[in-house]
């Protein structure tokens, strides 16, 4: 399984864009990049996923580099409710998710 | 997305006892998963539970300690057997969506073993 590397913590000012990086240099050609977040004491929440192309939904944008070795999750206008641990996951062909340590994002008023 | 509930939401148990955690989903799903999240840690996959077959356990997890049932396409149970304080964790179930693209998680069961 491809391993992911994320910074352990980040801060972001409320209203600004939060850019969360993830390295996955050993990703295989058919593996997807997924992002989840976990707000304290809740189950993880799906955010977005992608293979090669950039993706956008109502929650966030996902930018994947051309060589697919890294990606960035962008929360365009961070709010206090976006304070959470964000997990970048590479999904293997067996459908299992293997969570790394994630990035603890704190949105500051 | 699927709506997933877990029972109990939390429990305090004595060492040596067993606890069965239930996971109910509001639609039929093929694949269900059980995770453990120890205090301050990330999620660790325990096993994959498909209806009609034995659960598949990840390295470090065994059926005797974590027996799983999957009697139908909307329900699963995880039992934590012969508990010790090291089993104090949040236990979460998840389901794979019908397109097989992503997983949705339940709220978790918070277990404290004394």
Tell me the mean pLDDT per 10 residues along chain B, length 114.
93 97 95 94 93 90 96 95 97 90 93 97
Minimum distance, in Å, between the CA of residue A100 and any CA atom of chain B: 7
CB pair distance less than 8 Å for A95 and B1: no
pLDDT of residue A1 exceeding 70: no
CA distance B102 to B66: 24
CA distance A48 to A5: 18
pLDDT of residue A97 exceeding 80: yes
Closest residue of chain B to A103, computed from CA coordinates: B42
CB pair distance less than 8 Å for A99 and B108: no
CA distance B14 to B85: 9
A chain contacts of residue B4, beta-carbon cutoff 8 Å: 43
Closest residue of chain A to B49, computed from CA coordinates: A96
CB pair distance less than 8 Å for A43 and B105: yes
Closest by Cβ to B42, choosing from A42, A43, A100: A100
A chain contacts of residue B44, beta-carbon cutoff 8 Å: 99
Question: Which residues from A are below 8 Å from B when comparing CB atoms?
Answer: 34, 41-46, 49, 87, 95-102
Q: What is the mean pLDDT of chain A?
A: 93
pLDDT of residue A100 exceeding 90: no
CB pair distance less than 8 Å for A46 and B108: no
**pLDDT score of B48:** 94
The dihedral of CA A67, A4, A43, A40: what is its sign? Answer: negative
A chain contacts of residue B92, beta-carbon cutoff 8 Å: 43-44
Among the ranges given (A77-86, A87-96, B28-37), the one the predictor scored with the smallest mean pLDDT = A87-96
B1–A contact, CB cutoff 8 A: yes
Minimum distance, in Å, between the CA of residue A7 and any CA atom of chain B: 14
**pLDDT score of A2:** 60
pLDDT of residue A27 exceeding 70: yes
Q: Which residues contact A33 (CB under 8 A, 6 or more apart)?
A: A22, A24, A27, A49, A50, A51, A62, A64, A68, A71, A88, A89, A90, A91
């Amino acid at each position: 399984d491809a391993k992911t590397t994320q910074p352990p913590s980040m801060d972001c000012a409320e209203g600004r864009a939060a850019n969360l990086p993830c390295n996955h240099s050993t990703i295989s050609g058919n593996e997807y990049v997924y992002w989840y977040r976990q707000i304290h004491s809740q189950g993880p929440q799906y955010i977005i996923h992608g293979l090669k192309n950039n993706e956008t939904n109502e929650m966030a944008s996902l930018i994947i580099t051309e060589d697919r070795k890294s990606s960035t999750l962008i929360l365009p206008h961070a709010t206090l409710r976006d304070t959470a641990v964000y997990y970048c996951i590479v999904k293997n062909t067996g459908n299992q998710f293997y969570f790394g340590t994630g990035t603890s994002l704190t949105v500051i008023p | 997305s699927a709506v997933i509930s877990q029972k109990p939401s939390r429990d305090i148990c004595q060492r040596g006892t067993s606890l069965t955690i239930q996971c109910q989903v509001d639609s039929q799903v093929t694949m269900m998963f059980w995770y453990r999240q120890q205090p301050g840690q990330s999620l660790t996959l325990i096993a994959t539970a498909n209806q009609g077959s034995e659960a598949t356990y990840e390295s470090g997890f065994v059926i005797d300690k974590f027996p799983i049932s999957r009697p139908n396409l909307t329900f699963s149970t995880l039992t934590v057997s012969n508990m010790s304080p090291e089993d104090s964790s949040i236990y979460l179930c998840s389901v794979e969506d019908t397109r097989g693209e992503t997983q949705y998680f339940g709220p978790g069961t918070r277990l404290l073993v004394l």
